[in-house]
Each structure stands twice: as structure tokens, then as C-alpha cells.
């Protein structure tokens, strides 16, 4: 098997959104102190595409993504945060909380273009070696499978669930949070970036980025 890297092609949100995400993360960590903090190696982000790519061809992957960014009217991409939700991500008694984001049609077009550009460099069967790990850490099966099946499970209308992950919390606390009113707000993308993934879909290591002019 070729050496593979698990990548996340993502959008970095504006500073106001980052502040909100960190505030939600602090609340999640009050519920589950062992959960991860949003920091330099766990960046708040909106995933557009995840794939296993051949490590030897990362420069070609970056060039292909850069070509899509250059050909896209990035100012037309719009996102709106609409709710706090959680998903079962393999940790008993806990849920992974996210800010659920509604993407525009232009975002779905951007995703489709990225998929077409990256597909020639992709391969299946990634292992923990494809990810950023801490000493002694193994990548959970749910994370391995999420990247493996991102295509087709998260591609296109009715499938793509855009979100910003904000941390683990106990299920009772999450149900209480979800029952509270949520003030929807617009998210403005600041950059497109490629990260190497870690556990639970964390954006652990920056590989390349492109600033979105305003």
C-alpha cells in the first residue's frame, strides 16, 4: 500500500465565528474536562472535503486545490450557523457537539470541483499512520471510517453536513444545550486550507492555505 495522508480541505471562518466556537468549546469542557480544547492543533473549521491521498503526491494535491480556489468566486460562498447539534462519535456517554452550518449552493459547487480535482490522487485503506497522533494514540475506527466514506456519504445536496466541531460533552448536558434558543448568524470565510487530520476530525497540522480576499 502507498503511504497515505488523511487530509481535510476546509474553510477557516472569520474571527467572530472563532470566538463563538471557542466559547462553545469552553462550555463543552465544563461538561467533559478530558475533551479537547480548540487550539493551534485543533483548529475550528468548516470541512469541505476529506480524503486519503498519496503522500508522495501532496504537492500535486495542493496544486489541484489551488487551481479550484483560483477558478472559484470565493466571495460567493456563504454559510449560516443555525443550531447546536451532537452526534455519537464512539465515546460511551458522550456526544460530539457541532455548530450546524447551512451552506449555499455555491459551496456545494465548490465541493464538487474540489472532489474532481483531488480524486486522481486518492486511495482507500488509510490507517492511523495517515493521521497526526500524539504519543501512544491510535485513531478511532469512527474517524478512520468517516474519512474512508466521506465520499459519497458527505457529498452534495442532502448529504453534506457542514459544521464546526466544538468538543465532547455528556449527553445530558448536550440535550440541555440543544434545547436552548440559538441565535443564527452568518459565517464569513477567511481562507481555504489543507490540514492533516487527527482523531475525531481535528485539523491538526496545516499543510497549505489560500487567503480569501474581502
Task: Give the domain range for residue 75.
Answer: 4-211
**CATH number of the CATH domain containing 114:** 3.90.1140.10
Give the integer Cα–Cα distance in Å for 52 and 64: 15
Opening angle at CA 76, ends 74 and 80, nearest 5: 105
Kindly state the DSSP code that residue 199 receives in the 8-state scheme.
Answer: G
Find out whether the peptide bond into 60 is cis, omega within 30 degrees of 0.
no
Q: Which residues contact 28 (CB under 8 A, 6 or more apart)?
A: 35, 97, 166, 167, 168, 169
Opening angle at CA 38, ends 143 and 122, nearest 5: 35
Model pTM?
0.92
What phi and psi, each to the nearest 5 degrees, are found at residue 159? -120, -45
Q: How many Cβ atoms from other residues are within 10 Å of residue 41's Cβ? A: 16
In the chain, the number of structural domains is: 1
54 forms bridges with which residues in the sheet?
A: 4
Average pLDDT along the chain: 94
pLDDT tens per residue across span 58-81: 999 999 999 999 999 998 999 999
- pLDDT given at position 42: 84
Whether 12 shows a pLDDT value over 90: the answer reads yes
Opening angle at CA 77, ends 73 and 78, nearest 5: 155
pLDDT tens per residue across span 142-199: 899 999 999 999 999 999 999 999 999 999 999 999 999 999 999 999 999 999 999 9
Amino acid at each position: 500500500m502507498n503511504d497515505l495522508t488523511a487530509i481535510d480541505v476546509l474553510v477557516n471562518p472569520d474571527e467572530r465565528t472563532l470566538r463563538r466556537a471557542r466559547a462553545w468549546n469552553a462550555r463543552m469542557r465544563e461538561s467533559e474536562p478530558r475533551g479537547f480544547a480548540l487550539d493551534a492543533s485543533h483548529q475550528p473549521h468548516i470541512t469541505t472535503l476529506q480524503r486519503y491521498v498519496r503522500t508522495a503526491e501532496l504537492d500535486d494535491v495542493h496544486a489541484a486545490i489551488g487551481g479550484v480556489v483560483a477558478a472559484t468566486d470565493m466571495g460567493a460562498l456563504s454559510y449560516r450557523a443555525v443550531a447546536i447539534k451532537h452526534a455519537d462519535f464512539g465515546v460511551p456517554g458522550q456526544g460530539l457537539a457541532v455548530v450546524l452550518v447551512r451552506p449555499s449552493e455555491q459551496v456545494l459547487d465548490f465541493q464538487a470541483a474540489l472532489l474532481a480535482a483531488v480524486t486522481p490522487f486518492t486511495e482507500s485503506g488509510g490507517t492511523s499512520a495517515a493521521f497526526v497522533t500524539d504519543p501512544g494514540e491510535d485513531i478511532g475506527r469512527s474517524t478512520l471510517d468517516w474519512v474512508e466514506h466521506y465520499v459519497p456519504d458527505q457529498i452534495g445536496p442532502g448529504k453534506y453536513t457542514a459544521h464546526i466541531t466544538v468538543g465532547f460533552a455528556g449527553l445530558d448536558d448536550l440535550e440541555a444545550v440543544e434545547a436552548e434558543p440559538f441565535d443564527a448568524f452568518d459565517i464569513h470565510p477567511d481562507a481555504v486550507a489543507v490540514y492533516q487530520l487527527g482523531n475525531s476530525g481535528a485539523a491538526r497540522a496545516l499543510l497549505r492555505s489560500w487567503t480569501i480576499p474581502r
